[in-house]
Structure 1
Amino acid sequence: MDAWPRIPLEDDPADVLRKAMRGAGLDSRTLAQRTGLDAATIAGWTRGDGVPRDDEARAVATVLRLDPGKFADAAARRWYPDAEIPHDVRHHPHDPHPSNGYLFFLGDGKTAALIDPAGLPQTLLRAVNDGPYALRYILITHKHADHCDATADVARAFPDAQIVMHRSDAHAIGALAHRALPVADGDDLPFGDDAAIRMLHTPGHTDGSSCFLFRSTVFTGDTLFAGSVGGIFADVSTYADLLASVRLKLFALDEATVVMPGHGPPSTIGAERAHNPFF
């Protein structure tokens, strides 16, 4: 495995608190009433003005249905994932977006798949050509621009690569949507002679949000981050759907499975079960 620089978690305690409050439908005043804490203080925490003490963190977590101990650890910044990039994965930034892009490849070192074509096209094209790889798939986790706005450029450069994107989000890539393979939850995409990529439909962040499992690595887009989850920007799917997607589909994977998220550092399924305050 390759070492990963120690970059900040995608979500700080204020982000976690805001997401949990939106998910529960509670504002600072209501949360204060239910916990006996000061509303202005809670509002300050949501802005990043201080963090709750352990007892305060446990009190708000209980009302918000977060795990009290895990949220207290998050508020005190006592946890950071200890995970590395698998040897068959390459990471590249999505400049100017603050999102992660990945290439993963077969043991022959020639055939690859790209996760989320976004940002500066030349970065993506260089990443593929530097392999050099034969690009088999362009896998898109969801519809947001910071994960798919370079799809046309990559598809033009690699016309034989198959675009894979859930039909609920495929409209985001315009005319290329008709080229997207119509995959469904649990479908396997053949990859080489003895490997496959499994698509897991994980609605919540968006209606078409999907994760891609390759061997012992899962690329989670904005469904699951180290220590947090994505926000809800779906038309139909809900916060409850997002939590169920993680619990029932991602947490069903082996605990050693490496989580490569759309933002922030990598983690593992075991670490997220043990430390993610949303579960």
Structure 2
Amino acid sequence: MRIVTLPVGVLETNCYIVADVEECLVVDPGDNGPSIMERIDAMGARVSGILLTHGHFDHTGAAGFLQEKTGAKVMIGEADAGWLSDPDWMLPYMPSGQDPVKDVSHLKEGDTVKCGNIEFNVYLTPGHSPGSICLYAPGHLFSGDLIFKDGVGRDDLPGGDPDELLQSVQRILSLFPDETVIYPGHGPSTTIAREKTANPFF
């Protein structure tokens, strides 16, 4: 597995290109679609899917652009899917609008997403948003805005819930081995072990 991290947009969202066997999965293409596409082309990979950990604009902004360029399906947690067809709901929080995404696949707990020979398991982790999801393959966890190095996601945006957020974080930290690397929606990567011991929110 090869993982390329591209900080994109005004909030420097981590867009991840996860590649295996000439395929790649694009996680959270929040902005700068042409730059993301340029990197994918340089890798020589075919986009097998575009996965959004939740529906906030800084994680979804370039999804429509990439879908148009690649024909790949866009996947998102079921409870956040409606936000892609009506992005204006978040106008007070965003610098500009974004184009609606077509042909959205709804993900739920227990679904799997394949990329090459890698199979990721989908975990529903509400709290930052109702449909927030995490993506896990052995040794690797893409957490969106659930948990960061030394922090957790906001719960004060539309659809946020502090109790659900805490429950989701505690669940994720208890499910996976300590050596699992966490790839968050913003900031540097971390590990399950480190956040169990050093995250000031616990």
Q: TM-score scaled to structure 2, two decimals? A: 0.86
Structure 2 equivalent of residue 181 of structure 1: 105
Does the 8 Å contact 2:79/2:131 carry over to 1? yes
Identity across the alignment (%): 27
Task: Show structure 1 runs of 5+ residues with no match.
Answer: 1-86
Hey, what's the Cα distance between the residues in 1 that align with 2:80 and 2:151?
22
Q: Is the alpha carbon distance of 1:119 and 1:235 closer, same or farther for their aligned partners in structure 2, counting shifts above 3 Å?
A: closer
Given the alignment of the two structures, is residue 198 of structure 1 paired with residue 109 of structure 2, yes or no?
no
Aligned residues: 188
The structure in which a higher percent of residues are helix is 1
Does the 8 Å contact 2:81/2:106 carry over to 1? no
Counterpart of 1:102 (choices 16, 19, 25) is 16
Shift of 1:215: 2.9
Hey, what's the Cα distance between the residues in 2 that align with 1:99 and 1:251?
26
Counterpart of 1:154 (choices 56, 66, 85) is 66
Structure 2 equivalent of residue 248 of structure 1: 171
Does the 8 Å contact 2:9/2:58 carry over to 1? no
The AA in structure 1 aligned to 2:19 is F
Superposition RMSD in Å: 1.7
Q: TM-score scaled to structure 1, two decimals? A: 0.64
Structure 2 equivalent of residue 232 of structure 1: 155
Mapping for residues 199-214 of structure 1, pairs under 5 Å: 199-214=122-137
Does the 8 Å contact 1:206/1:233 carry over to 2? no
Counterpart of 2:77 (choices 161, 166, 170) is 166
Hey, what's the Cα distance between the residues in 2 that align with 1:242 and 1:209?
10
Structure 2 equivalent of residue 141 of structure 1: 53
- Which has the higher Rg, Structure 1 or Structure 2? 1
Task: Show structure 2 runs of 5+ residues with no match.
Answer: 86-99
Structure 1 equivalent of residue 91 of structure 2: none
Mapping for residues 1-279 of structure 1, pairs under 5 Å: 88-106=2-20, 108=21, 110-159=22-71, 161-174=72-85, 175-176=100-101, 179-192=103-116, 194-233=117-156, 235-279=158-202
The AA in structure 2 aligned to 1:113 is L
The AA in structure 2 aligned to 1:148 is T
Hey, what's the Cα distance between the residues in 1 that align with 2:173 and 2:59?
20
Structure 2 equivalent of residue 48 of structure 1: none
Q: Is the alpha carbon distance of 1:256 and 1:98 closer, same or farther for their aligned partners in structure 2, counting shifts above 3 Å?
A: same
Hey, what's the Cα distance between the residues in 2 that align with 1:172 and 1:250?
28
Shift of 1:142: 1.0
Hey, what's the Cα distance between the residues in 2 that align with 1:166 and 1:236?
13
Does the 8 Å contact 1:251/1:273 carry over to 2? no
Hey, what's the Cα distance between the residues in 2 that align with 1:236 and 1:144?
11
The AA in structure 2 aligned to 1:169 is D
The structure in which a higher percent of residues are strand is 2
